[in-house]
Structure 1
Amino acid sequence: MFAIKPSLLPKALALAGLLAAVQLTCLAATALQPLRDDEVLEVLPAVTRSRPALPPVRPASVPAAEPVARNPAAALTQAREDISVARQTGDTRYWGRAQAALAPWWDRPDAPADLAVLQATVQQGRHEFAASRTVLAAALARAPGHAQGWLNLASLERLSARYPEALAACDAVARAGQALYAQACRLETESLQGQHPKAAQGLDALLRQTQDAGQRSWLLSLLAESLERAGRDAPAADAYARSLTAAPDLYTAIAYSDLLLRTGKTRQALQVLAPLPETDAVVLRRAAAWKRLGDARWKNERQMLGERVEELRRRGDDPALHGRELALTALWLDEDGARALQAANSNLLLQREPIDWWVALQSARLAGNGAAQADISQAIAAAGLRDARLAAASGPAPKAAQ
């Protein structure tokens, strides 16, 4: 199994001074309409795992919100905080809060580059990848030295399996004067292209250059992913554990639980998942683990996931933007290969990270569709992606599964 990577930049960037927070699921504008200007439709949680208490959401007419609307610096701070909460809690409503903070500058061609890059970050978090790329391109044309923007773009290119373009964006980060982040960006991309030993050696070298806990946690998570792609599960597990010890992180914890599930350490995976916020990714993995253990609680989790899909529809969101999760649910919980393959193929039109290819391969295998499996394997090879987990998933299903 793989972690559902939120198309977010690494957590260390939020600690880097110049560089801000970044890249899980998306939430479009709500379909609910208030009857009065002062009607509060929803109050977001006041306590999160990643920062002090937040005040309840204020209606737009409340004067306390006005300073952010008039002040780009205040909007920048608020949007970054909301993005951080969205990333660390999986609460997609905070993407909407971030957009609200950025509203006066949203889609404006003269928006300050910092605010435009944050708009692209919100769009990326909502899986609006084409729109995010367009905004980034315009912002970087105005501010070609914006390291955060280039890092965002590199992430988008990796997500689309456009590795040469990702490397070009990494080089632009170097030209912007951020050598450590540029090198990590390049090593992550080269690992996806199969240069696993080079990536591991390079990340080890970067780890020796910093004692900052956030940077070390981020670099260790990149190292763990590279080791997994190389088929080195034991050292990858160690790197994940070290990353979480240095600084807890939602995405890294999910990635670690995936490795544990894939290698048969189901109860240990549940221990890793236990303290995490109940995002779709966490609930999905917990249900898969319980189902594997024969624990009937997985059925309640499956029902919860279905209710969340209906909630997306009620809010006016498109569940198809969550094709990865829909495919995983059909694959792991419903064991419906045909439906999983349909969702996985649709998702590949949107994003092509290793997990997306893996879900498609596993779905084709479960569906007994050898032709689809061959087509997906050919597309992976054409993209230049090299991952031991995908190679294993490309083979025929075990006889027991068949």
Structure 2
Amino acid sequence: MKLRRHCGFWVVAWLAAGAHAAPFVPPDDAQVLEHLPGRTTAQFRELKALQAAAAQAPDDLSRAIPLARAYIRASRLEGDPRFLGYAQAALASWWKDSDAPTPVLVLRATILQSSHQFGAAIADLDKVSQREPRNVQAILTRATVLTVQGRYEAARRDCERLSRSAPEIYVTICTAAIDSVTGKAANAYQSLQDALRTLPRVDDAAREWGETLLGEIAHRRNDKAAERHFRAALEASEKDLYLLGAYADWLLDQQRPADVIALLQNETRVDALLLRLALAQHALKRPEAAVSIETLRARFDASHARGDTAHQRENARFELFLRDDANSALSYALANWQVQREPSDLRILAETAVATRDAAVLSTVKRWLTETHLEYDLDAAIIGAGEVKPK
């Protein structure tokens, strides 16, 4: 069922919030938006057909909605944030309407969160929930944004609401995502693993999402089973950029940079994946690391010039590990922490705190671990640096 497939996409894509830049919106409806890749896949044939149909009647909601959805899907597959701008352009007739139709509100929230406009995204999703309390997409996406922000109890309430209308596997995944970062990682892991094995009719989108989450839980618990889950997710995946990044992070932690290069060597268009590739090249002292680092520097500089702040976690990793500038890295990590509070955000905050010997920031890290009961097997050098003294 198409709805179930889209639900899987919304949440998997939104966990990668840092991978998207602010969308580009063309100033002229006649402007050529993108020369699509030369392949003749069914997806891109469908996209071209939707473009042609919408061009004939840009104010026709029944044509604009499928086109916007197709662009959002393309942004995930291609890792190109411009597609999100094209989706916004497809919805131009309703974009500024505070009382826009429900499908527009859901898609607008998707685009808004991509540039970390979480408050505006939540506002749109709240309107959808008022109109349609059982709208699965709105509930799932709201729960995901709240989880990214570290607002776990509010997110849990949304997961509970799903039980009235969503397939059981999505309810299980939604709940497991929150349990895994609030002191119930073992239960979350077991319940999700059991659900994927025993529930009937688990579609590929749910399997990919579930296996990716299992891989991340195992990674945080330093469990070698993480690789099995990431590989299972890849088998169910069309091409998910968030999944590739999560798997690459695990490989880097396992001191397997050569495997990271094999995984990501053809994914250099995506900044977050190029960063991981550069980290692997740097670890192996490959000469091409210099090219990757310079490319990232230029891309990040251009992003800053546009006022885009969606890459702050990646900026922090870049500055700390590839440019050896711990103070700049800490600035990015702190700014990022004000916006999103996933385990990976906490980790880079901890790493930069230790690198700069900032006891106050390290205390923030330890306090979060204590308050949320997050089970994260961070190295003692990161979270146990008791020798760090106040400046």
| TM superposition score normalised by structure 2 | 0.87
Q: Which amino acid aligns with 1:333?
A: L
Pick aligned residue for 2:59 from 59, 70, 79: 70
Q: Match for residue 16 of structure 1?
A: 4
Pick aligned residue for 1:27 from 22, 46, 50: 22
Residue aligned with 1:364, SS = helix
Residue deviations 1:259-290 (CA, integer Å, cap 9, x gap): 00011011111111123352001111111111
CA shift in 2, pair 1:358/1:245, >3 Å: same
Q: Which amino acid aligns with 2:256?
A: K
Q: Match for residue 105 of structure 1?
A: 94
Residue deviations 1:266-320 (CA, integer Å, cap 9, x gap): 1111111123352001111111111111112111111111221333355xx3133
Q: Match for residue 361 of structure 1?
A: 350
Q: Which amino acid aligns with 1:244?
A: L
Q: Match for residue 243 of structure 1?
A: 233
Distance 1:172 1:255 in 2: 28
Q: Match for residue 251 of structure 2?
A: 260
Q: Match for residue 152 of structure 1?
A: 141
**How far is 1:218 from its partner?**
2.1
Distance 1:75 1:63 in 2: 9
> Is residue 21–residue 80 contact of structure 1 (8 Å, CA) maintained in 2?
no
Q: Match for residue 7 of structure 1?
A: none
Mapped pair 1:170 → 2:159: yes
Q: Which runs of 5+ in 1 are unaligned?
A: 1-12
Residue aligned with 1:319, SS = coil
Pick aligned residue for 2:260 from 269, 275, 284: 269
Number of equivalenced pairs? 376
Q: Match for residue 43 of structure 1?
A: 34
CA shift in 2, pair 1:311/1:51, >3 Å: farther
Q: Match for residue 336 of structure 2?
A: 347
Distance 1:288 1:17 in 2: 33
> Is residue 50–residue 67 contact of structure 2 (8 Å, CA) maintained in 1?
no
**How far is 1:16 from its partner?**
1.8
Q: Match for residue 200 of structure 1?
A: 189
Distance 1:206 1:295 in 2: 43
**How far is 1:116 from its partner?**
0.6
Distance 2:42 2:344 in 1: 26
Q: Which amino acid aligns with 1:235?
A: A
> Is residue 127–residue 321 contact of structure 1 (8 Å, CA) maintained in 2?
yes
Q: Match for residue 52 of structure 1?
A: 44
Residue deviations 1:128-167 (CA, integer Å, cap 9, x gap): 1111111111221121111110100110111011111110
Distance 2:22 2:42 in 1: 20
Mapped pair 1:226 → 2:217: yes
Query: What is the CA RMSD across the aligned residues, in angstroms?
Result: 2.9
Q: Match for residue 104 of structure 2?
A: 115
Residue deviations 1:322-358 (CA, integer Å, cap 9, x gap): 2112111101211211110111001111111111111
Residue aligned with 1:105, SS = coil
Distance 1:251 1:379 in 2: 24
Residue aligned with 1:299, SS = helix
| TM superposition score normalised by structure 1 | 0.85
Distance 2:53 2:229 in 1: 48
Q: Which amino acid aligns with 1:131?
A: A
CA shift in 2, pair 1:14/1:309, >3 Å: farther
Q: Which runs of 5+ in 2 are unaligned?
A: none
Determine what percentage of the aligned residue pairs are the same residue: 28
